[in-house]
Amino acid sequence: MKKLFSILLSITLVLVMAVGCSQAPDQGQNDQGQNKEEKLKVGFVYIGSATDAGYTYAHDQGRLMLERELGDRVDTIIKENVPETQECEKVMTDMIDQGCKVIFANSFGFQDYVVRVAEAHPDVIFLHCSGSIQGPNYSNYFGSIEEARYLSGIVAGMKTKTNKIGYVAAYNIPEVIRGINAFTLGVRSVNPDAVVMVKWTNTWLDAAKEKDAAIALLDAGADVIAQHQDTTGPQVAAEERGCWSIGYNADMSHAAPKAYMTAPLWNWGAYYVKAVQSILDGTWTNEPYWGTMKDGLIDLAPLTDVAPEGAQEAVDKIKEQMKAGTFDVFAGPIKDQSGKVVVPEGSTIPLEEQLSMKWFVEGVEGKIE
């Protein structure tokens, strides 16, 4: 009898174990088959250096925020100083070989290469900054930096004594043109007599050339310098001439402590955390992302003591409206360079048209070459 009982008990234990194994939920995977115990590897392809104190620095601060908030589930790798050539294809392919399942590419000129690599690797998600691409496993992200450009224009317009403000511009693409226009609208909202003189460099990352462009603008009478560049070259030029400056991407006061007043800022971490979390959750879609000041993606750096009296109050008033979603930078009436009204009162420029903008507003001195 004892022998029979032992046999029956053994059979029962085997059956219980078998049922338990067959019914155990697959807790190690999400809906997309991602092993939750295995960290998601994310690659970042940078046009510049993570220590450039500008554009790429801002992106890398976003990556570090991603690691702080999702570090228990995410590993990141970076590749710096990647040219906008076929070289970036190799960089992205190498990242995939290292196990990356998500790749962020942070420069406009990477766009065509991202598409090619993405189409060859449908199991990897690609996110491209500032472009216009969209496919099954790739999309783009950017935001309304024009809001912060407008606010910085208020500061510049209140500071200038010569009513001539220089703007060192990278490439004549819509992204840069939108920024110049928004800045100029901000300038002239407080100083209708001021003009914004544009000097193109056709560079993102050439401190010497960008400094020379700023010097040329200062020689032409500008006493405030703004920029759409990734280096502090224009800031240094303003400092050396005893003039004032508006930075970009990051606090640039270390480069020009007597000149620097403020800077439009990107908080890329707000997007990176949101995007990667959606991938981990299995809810990611290829819908393009367009962030705003209201979303926390855009901001204006704190004004320094160099900023003009009354500027903080003027900025705060408009900034609160932007954060509430009630202020539109491109709301009419807006005139073009010829003085013709191109955006009537009560109208605005739709985002689709902003993304293809190829004209200057009234008050800009320069040509779209």
Q: Is residue 96 domain-shared with residue 208, that is, in the same domain?
A: no
The answer to whether residue 28 is domain-embedded is no
When divided into structural domains, the chain yields a total of 2
Predicted pLDDT of residue 5:
37
Q: Is residue 122 domain-shared with residue 177, that is, in the same domain?
A: no
Say how far apart CA 240 and CA 260 lie, in whole Å: 12
The answer to whether residue 212 is domain-embedded is yes
**Position with higher pLDDT, 37 vs 24:** 37
Give percent above pLDDT 70 in the chain: 90
Are the C-beta atoms of residues 300 and 319 closer than 8 Å to each other?
yes
Residue 66 has pLDDT above 60, yes or no: yes
Q: Is residue 194 domain-shared with residue 257, that is, in the same domain?
A: yes
Lowest mean pLDDT among 2-6, 38-42, 135-139: 2-6
Predicted pLDDT of residue 320:
97
The answer to whether residue 73 is domain-embedded is yes
Q: Is residue 180 domain-shared with residue 54, that is, in the same domain?
A: no
Mean pLDDT of the chain: 91
pLDDT tens-digit map of 126-162:
999 998 899 999 999 999 999 999 999 999 999 999 9
What's phi and psi for 357, nearest 5 deg? Answer: -60, 130
Amino acid identity at 63 = R
For the chain, first and last CA: distance in Å?
A: 99
- Give the model's confidence band at 24: pLDDT under 50 very low, under 70 low, under 90 confident, else very high: very low
Per this entry, what is the length of the chain? 369
Q: Is residue 325 domain-shared with residue 178, that is, in the same domain?
A: yes
Predicted pLDDT of residue 35:
54
Are the C-beta atoms of residues 332 and 344 closer than 8 Å to each other?
yes
Say how far apart CA 96 and CA 103 lie, in whole Å: 8
Q: Is residue 61 domain-shared with residue 184, that is, in the same domain?
A: no
pLDDT tens-digit map of 224-252:
999 999 899 999 999 999 999 999 999 99
The answer to whether residue 179 is domain-embedded is yes
The answer to whether residue 283 is domain-embedded is yes
- Give the model's confidence band at 219: pLDDT under 50 very low, under 70 low, under 90 confident, else very high: very high
Q: Is residue 222 domain-shared with residue 312, that is, in the same domain?
A: yes
Lowest mean pLDDT among 20-24, 113-117, 288-292: 20-24
Q: Is residue 89 domain-shared with residue 236, that is, in the same domain?
A: no
- E strands of the chain, at which residues? 40-45, 74-79, 102-105, 125-129, 138-143, 164-169, 195-200, 224-227, 244-246, 260-262, 264-266, 289-291, 298-300, 334-335, 341-343, 364-365
Residue 3 has pLDDT above 60, yes or no: no
- Give the model's confidence band at 37: pLDDT under 50 very low, under 70 low, under 90 confident, else very high: low
Residue 22 has pLDDT above 60, yes or no: no
Coil/strand/helix, residue 101: coil
Q: The domain spanning residue 151 has which CATH number? A: 3.40.50.2300
Q: Is residue 169 domain-shared with residue 247, that is, in the same domain?
A: yes
DSSP code for 348: B
Predicted pLDDT of residue 53:
85
The answer to whether residue 322 is domain-embedded is yes
Predicted pLDDT of residue 292:
96
**By residue range, what is the domain housing residue 121?**
40-143+268-291
The answer to whether residue 353 is domain-embedded is yes
Q: Is residue 333 domain-shared with residue 217, that is, in the same domain?
A: yes
- E strands of 53-209, at which residues? 74-79, 102-105, 125-129, 138-143, 164-169, 195-200
Predicted pLDDT of residue 369:
78
Helix, strand, coil fractions of the chain, as percent rounded to 5: 40, 20, 40
pLDDT tens-digit map of 269-317:
999 999 999 999 999 999 999 999 999 999 999 999 999 999 999 999 9
CA neighbours within 13 Å on the CB side: how many for 252?
36
Q: Is residue 101 domain-shared with residue 180, that is, in the same domain?
A: no
Residue 121 has pLDDT above 90, yes or no: yes
Q: Can you say whether the dihedral through the CA atoms of 271, 272, 276, 277 is positive or negative? A: negative
Say how far residue 291 (Cα) sits from the centre of its chain.
9
Q: Is residue 313 domain-shared with residue 198, that is, in the same domain?
A: yes
The answer to whether residue 272 is domain-embedded is yes
Residue 30 has pLDDT above 80, yes or no: no
Are the C-beta atoms of residues 222 and 164 closer than 8 Å to each other?
yes
